[in-house]
């Protein structure tokens, strides 16, 4: 009886570990996607600012 209990415990711990690992991986993937989206938006805003500044610099005073 005791061995069955231990095996069950080990199996549950293993399942929980796998679940946590999968969850961590998917969360990590989501965070990476968000990072890419944010950096793309930031890049676009940055380029707009650069273009705007260049047009301000080039504009005759």
pLDDT in tens, 4-32: 899 999 999 999 999 999 999 998 898 88
Is the predicted pLDDT of residue 61 greater than 70, yes or no? no
Residue 42 placed within a domain: yes
Q: Indicate the range of 25-29, 30-34, 48-52, 54-58 predicted with least confidence.
A: 54-58
Q: How far is residue 17's CA from residue 25's CA, in Å, rounded to a whole number?
A: 12
Range of the domain at 45: 32-60
Residue 22 placed within a domain: no
Instruction: Choose between 36 and 9: higher pLDDT.
Output: 9
Write out the two tokens for 54: 């260049």
Residue for token digits 């946590």? 20
Residue 37 placed within a domain: yes
Residue 52 placed within a domain: yes
**3-state class percentages of the chain: helix first, strand second, coil last, to nearest 5:** 95, 0, 5
Residue 50 placed within a domain: yes
Residue 44 placed within a domain: yes
Query: What's the pTM value of the predicted model, to 2 decimals?
Result: 0.49
């Amino acid at each position: 009886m005791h061995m069955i209990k231990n095996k069950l415990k080990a199996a549950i711990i293993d399942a929980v570990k796998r679940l946590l690992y999968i969850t961590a991986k998917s969360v990590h993937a989501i965070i990476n996607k968000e990072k890419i989206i944010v950096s793309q938006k930031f890049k676009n805003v940055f380029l707009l600012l650069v273009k705007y500044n260049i047009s301000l610099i080039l504009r005759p005073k």
